Amino acid sequence: MDFPSFAQLLQYIFDGLSVGAIYSLLALGLVVVYRGTGHLNFAQGEMATLCTYGVWELHDRGLPLIVALVVGAAIGFGLGAAVETTLIRPVAKKSPFAVIIVTIGLFLGINSLTNGVWGPPPEEAMPSLFPNKPDDFASIFGATWRYERIGVLLVCLALGAGLLQLFKRTRFGLAMRAVASNPESSRLVGISTSHVLMASWGIAAALGAISGTLVAGVNTSVTPGMMFSIFVYASAAATLGGLDSVGGALIAGLSIGVVENLAANIFPDWIGQSMRLAVALVIILVVLLFKPSGLFGSSKVERV
């Protein structure tokens, strides 16, 4: 192992932050759903992929990418809301375990759907939302930071901040926090829990559409399995951040991106590119063993 130079180290951190921003975005979707219903949506990544194909189709038919993304996010919202009302809610009444099975089923179903419809070549080429010509980068102390990567990070931070404001300052955010805290009392103060849950799934899927489009832009194409490993990292981020904390998911996603990138590059021989995913799994395991409520999660302590 050669110890990296300062410029190299900075480079690993920049790259890690950008890739971590993607994990954060998907993790935010997981958190929004978990807060409302206590469920982990295993199909979050695949729903994102499906929405990204939607964005690609719209863009392919001549819509500017940014417009296609906004429409795609809106479609994502509808998809999430529809999944909650038609698949999750009827099953959740019977057993929480069954919901896990349904989301795993959704994962497999959407995965084969995208493979079947768009899988075989030609590839669905996706342009980037940000400037990504070869010389579109900033040089910082010898490290390069591509504008596209900076853009991804900024989108992630902006959406995270927006989501925090939504939770903290709006009437709808208050309703979401109330439903997460005590569903029965929420109904007694006149909050329609069904609307809140529907909207939570909708918001999560819309976030997925955005993260999927960013991923495809960085990869330069949409592929059916593109969100799979990202979903694993995102679950690690959500777990590390505490599952119900927006800020926690954001910070955890970025940290995991940096840590796995540093680990893969500083120890190329025994972690390297092939073992990167193991870093995420180790993080999930360690967090669950030593701090099950995550770093920023609210432990349910109540004085009676």
Partner 1 sequence: MSGALTIEHLSAGYGQVAVLDDVSLHVGDGDLVVILGSNGAGKTTTMRAISGVIPRTGAITFNGQRIDKLSPDAIVRAGIAQVPQGRGTFPELSVLDNLRAGAYTRRDGEVAKDIDHWFEVFPRLGERSDQRAGSLSGGEQQMVAISRALMSRPKLLLCDEPSLGLAPLVTQEVMTVIARLNQETGLSVLLVEQNANLAMDVARTVYLLETGRIVASGTPTEIAGNDAIRQAYLGY
With binding defined as CB under 8 A, does residue 298 bind partner 1?
Answer: yes
Alpha helices by DSSP H, listed for 38-146, are 44-60, 65-83, 89-92, 96-118
Neighbours of 301 (CB within 10 A): 5
β-pairing verdict for 137-140 and 143-146: antiparallel
Under the binding rule (CB under 8 A), the answer on residue 269 touching partner 1 is no
* Spatial CB neighbours of 304, under 8 Å, sequence gap ≥ 6: none
300 part of the interface to partner 1, by CB under 8 A: yes
115 or 182, CB closer to partner 1?
Answer: 182
Q: How far is the CB of 140 from partner 1 (least distance, A)?
A: 41
Give the dihedral of Cα atoms 252, 208, 74, 182; nearest 10 deg. -60
Residues 6+ apart with CB under 8 A from 226: 49, 52, 212, 215, 216, 219
Question: Which one of 2, 61, 171, 290 is in contact with partner 1 (CB under 8 A)?
Answer: 171
* Residue number, 115 or 181, with CB nearest to partner 1: 181
| 49's tokens | 């992929």
182 binds partner 1 (CB under 8 A): yes
301: contact with partner 1 by CB under 8 A: yes
Mark the segment that binds partner 1 (CB under 8 A) among 41-49, 80-88, 124-132, 189-197: 189-197
Peptide bond into 127 cis (omega under 30): no
Per-residue mark of binding to partner 1, 191-230 (x: CB under 8 A): xx--------------------------------------
> Rule CB under 8 A: which residues touch partner 1?
171, 174-175, 177-178, 180-182, 184-192, 298, 300-304
